[in-house]
C-alpha cells in the first residue's frame, strides 16, 4: 500500500514540474549568473524570472526586495543580525517563546556573546501570543521584533500586521518567519508594515537548501556573509541556480493553487480532526481554538508516548511527527508545547499531522482506520492510563482492530 505522508511541515515532496525546470540548469545552462558572456546572461535571466515568481507569491511591490539565500534558517539569522548591525544604538530583540530554533538559538547566542537583551514573549494555553506583553516589551532600545507568521508545531497564525505596526510605533523593525505560512495562506506585502520576511523552498514543494529573505525597499540591510556582490551585495556567494529556478516554479504553482488548495486541505484536516475526536477519548487539538494554518493538526493523546504512537503509525504506513520530541531526536519535550503549558500527561503524547496539496481523502481514511486501534492498544498497556481507568482491561494484541498498529 502507498505510504501516507503527513509530515509536510517538516518538508514536502518537490513538485515534479519544479524538478523538470531545474534539470537543464545542471548540464545545459550551467553558467555563472555574474559572467558577462551568453552562458551567464541566460542564467541571470532565469534568476530574474524566479525572483518575479517569488515576488508574486509574496505580493511584494518590487522584485529586488527578494534576496535568495540557503533557506529559512539563514534568512532568520540574516534578518536578526542585519537589524542589530544597521541599528547599533539599539540593543534589544523582542521575540516569542515559540519561535523555531532558527530564531531562538540565534538570539540566545547573541545574548550570550554580545550582551544583546532578548525579551521572549509567552503564549497562553491555546498558543495565543501575549500581545500586551509584546507591546510593553517594545522600547526605544528595540532594534527588531521577530514573531513567526505561523507556528510549525501547532499551526497557530499570528496577527503579524498588528504586530508590525506596534513594532514601528517603537521605531523597531519587524521581521516574521513565514517559513510555514508561505504557499499555505495568502501573503500580500505590497501594503504591509512587515520589514523582513523569511521563507524556505522545501516547505512549499520546492527544493531543499534554498530560501529567500524579503527585505522591504528602504530598510537598511547589512549582509551576514561577505564576499562577492551577488544579490546586490546582500548575500555573497555564487547563486544556487537550479534551486532558485525550482523554488521559483514552486512559488508560481503554490500561488496558482493557493485559493483552491487552502479550502480543500482545510476540509481534509478538519475531517481528520473530527474523526479522531469522535473515535478517541481523552485527546485534545492543541491550538485548536485559534486561527491556524489549514494543513496542521497537533493532537495530544492523554497518557501516551508519542514515539510509541508514531512507531505503530509507521508500521501501518503512515508518517507523521512527534509534537513532543524535538527535531534532534533528544526526548526533550517541545518548547512550544511547554510554553503553552500543556499538562505533562498530554505533552508526551502529542502528534503533529501536517497535510499538503498532495494528500487525499483516502489518506485521512487510512489514519481514521488505524489510529483508534493503535491508541486503545497502547493505552491498554499504559500504567498511567490503567491507573486512571481501572475498568480498562489489557487486551491482547490479536484482539485489537487492525492488529493494534
Ligand atoms: C518556522 C520555521 N522556521 C525556520 C525553519 C528552517 O528552515 P530551513 O529548513 O529552510 O532552514 C523551519 C523548518 O522547519 C520552520 O518550520
Ligand 1 pocket residues where CB is under 6 Å: 71-73, 76, 100, 102, 148, 152, 177, 179-180, 200, 211
Give the distance from CA 139 to its chain's centroid. Answer: 28
Return contacts of 123-126, CB within 8 angstroms, 24+ apart: 123/96, 123/97, 123/98, 123/156, 123/339, 123/340, 124/340, 124/341, 125/340, 125/341, 125/342, 126/156, 126/287, 126/288, 126/289, 126/290, 126/340
Q: What is the 201 CA–ligand 1 centroid distance (Å)? A: 10
pLDDT at 373: 98
Which atom of ligand 1 lies at the shortest distance from residue 99's CA? 1
DSSP class of residue 44 equals H
Which residue's CA is the nearest one to ligand 1's atom 14? 10
pLDDT at 1: 85
Q: What is the rounded radius of gyration, in angstroms, for the C-alpha atoms of the chain?
A: 22
Place of cell 534532534: 328
Strand segments, DSSP code E, in 115-209 are 117-121, 142-146, 173-177, 196-200
68, 71, 72: residue to mutate for ligand 1 pocket, most atoms within 8 A of CB: 72
Q: Which part of the chain is CATH 3.90.1150.10?
A: 4-8+259-404
Three-state SS at 163: helix
Predicted confidence (pLDDT) per residue in 252-296, tens digit: 999 999 999 999 999 999 999 999 999 999 999 999 999 999 999
Q: Are strands 142-146 and 92-96 parallel, antiparallel or unpaired?
A: parallel
Q: What is the 260 CA–ligand 1 centroid distance (Å)? A: 25
Residues designated as active site: 326
The grid coordinates listed for 374 are 493503535
Residues (pLDDT < 70) of the chain are 323-331, 393-405
Q: What is the 397 CA–ligand 1 centroid distance (Å)? A: 39
Which atom of ligand 1 lies at the shortest distance from residue 209's CA? 10
Predicted confidence (pLDDT) per residue in 26-50, tens digit: 999 999 999 999 999 999 999 999 9
Q: What is the 177 CA–ligand 1 centroid distance (Å)? A: 8
For 52-62, b/e burial (b = at least 16 CB within 10 A) is ebbbbbbebee
Three-state SS at 7: strand
The CATH class, in words, for 4-8+259-404 is: alpha beta
Q: By the 8 A CB rule, do 57 and 206 touch?
A: no
Could you give the residue ranges of the DSSP H alpha helices within 63-218?
72-86, 101-114, 131-137, 160-169
The grid coordinates listed for 311 are 512507531
Predicted confidence (pLDDT) per residue in 330-339, tens digit: 567 899 999 9
Cα distance between residue 298 and residue 173, in whole Å: 31
Q: What is the 383 CA–ligand 1 centroid distance (Å)? A: 37
Give the domain 16-254 fold. Answer: 3.40.640
Other beta carbons within 10 Å of 18: 25
77, 176, 198, 203: residue to mutate for ligand 1 pocket, most atoms within 8 A of CB: 203
The grid coordinates listed for 211 are 530560501
Cα distance between residue 101 and residue 11, in whole Å: 16
Give the DSSP letter string of 216-266. Answer: -TT-----SS-SS-GGGGTS-S---HHHHHHHHHHHHHHHHHHHHHHHHHH
Cα distance between residue 269 and residue 282, in whole Å: 19
pLDDT at 393: 62
Which atom of ligand 1 lies at the shortest distance from residue 150's CA? 1
68, 76, 149, 179: residue to mutate for ligand 1 pocket, most atoms within 8 A of CB: 179
Q: By the 8 A CB rule, do 14 and 242 touch?
A: no
Cα distance between residue 344 and residue 321, in whole Å: 18
Q: Which part of the chain is CATH 3.40.640.10?
A: 16-254
Which atom of ligand 1 lies at the shortest distance from residue 11's CA? 14
Amino acid at each position: 500500500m502507498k505510504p501516507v505522508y503527513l509530515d509536510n511541515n517538516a518538508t514536502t515532496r518537490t513538485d515534479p514540474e519544479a524538478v523538470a525546470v531545474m534539470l537543464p540548469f545542471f548540464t545545459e545552462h550551467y553558467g555563472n549568473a555574474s559572467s558577462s558572456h551568453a552562458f551567464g546572461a541566460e542564467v541571470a535571466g532565469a534568476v530574474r524570472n524566479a525572483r518575479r515568481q517569488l515576488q508574486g507569491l509574496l505580493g511584494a511591490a518590487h522584485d529586488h526586495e527578494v534576496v535568495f539565500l540557503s533557506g529559512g534558517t539563514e534568512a532568520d539569522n540574516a534578518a536578526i543580525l542585519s537589524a542589530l548591525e544597521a541599528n547599533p544604538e539599539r540593543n534589544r530583540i523582542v521575540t516569542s517563546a515559540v519561535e523555531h530554533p532558527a530564531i531562538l538559538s540565534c538570539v540566545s547566542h547573541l545574548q550570550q556573546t554580545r550582551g544583546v537583551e532578548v525579551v521572549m514573549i509567552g503564549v497562553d494555553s491555546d498558543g495565543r501570543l501575549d500581545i500586551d506583553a509584546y507591546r510593553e516589551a517594545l522600547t526605544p532600545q528595540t532594534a527588531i521584533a521577530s514573531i513567526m507568521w505561523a507556528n510549525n508545531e501547532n499551526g497557530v497564525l499570528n496577527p503579524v500586521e498588528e504586530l508590525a505596526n506596534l513594532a514601528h510605533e517603537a521605531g523597531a523593525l519587524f521581521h516574521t518567519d513565514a517559513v510555514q505560512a508561505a504557499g499555505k495562506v495568502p501573503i500580500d506585502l505590497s501594503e504591509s508594515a512587515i520589514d523582513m520576511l523569511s521563507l524556505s523552498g522545501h516547505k512549499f514543494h520546492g527544493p531543499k537548501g534554498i530560501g529567500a529573505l524579503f527585505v522591504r525597499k528602504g530598510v537598511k540591510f547589512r549582509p551576514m556573509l561577505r564576499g562577492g556582490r551577488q544579490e546586490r551585495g546582500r548575500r555573497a556567494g555564487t547563486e544556487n541556480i537550479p534551486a532558485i529556478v525550482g523554488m521559483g516554479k514552486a512559488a508560481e504553482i503554490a500561488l496558482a493553487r493557493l485559493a483552491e488548495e487552502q479550502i480543500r486541505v482545510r476540509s481534509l484536516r478538519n475531517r481528520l480532526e473530527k474523526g479522531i475526536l469522535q473515535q478517541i477519548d481523552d485527546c485534545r487539538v492543541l491550538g485548536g481554538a485559534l486561527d491556524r494554518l489549514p494543513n496542521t493538526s497537533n493532537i495530544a493523546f492523554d497518557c501516551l508516548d508519542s514515539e510509541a504512537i508514531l512507531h505503530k503509525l509507521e508500521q501501518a504506513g503512515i508518517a507523521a511527527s512527534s509534537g513532543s520530541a524535538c527535531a534532534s531526536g533528544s526526548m526533550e519535550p517541545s518548547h512550544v508545547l511547554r510554553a503553552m503549558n500543556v499538562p505533562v500527561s498530554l505533552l508526551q503524547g502529542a502528534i503533529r499531522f501536517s497535510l499538503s496539496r498532495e494528500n487525499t481523502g483516502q489518506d485521512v481514511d487510512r489514519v481514521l482506520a488505524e489510529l483508534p486501534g493503535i491508541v486503545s492498544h497502547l493505552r491498554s498497556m499504559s500504567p498511567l492510563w490503567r491507573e486512571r481507568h481501572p475498568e480498562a482491561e489489557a487486551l491482547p494484541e490479536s484482539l485489537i482492530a487492525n492488529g493494534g498498529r
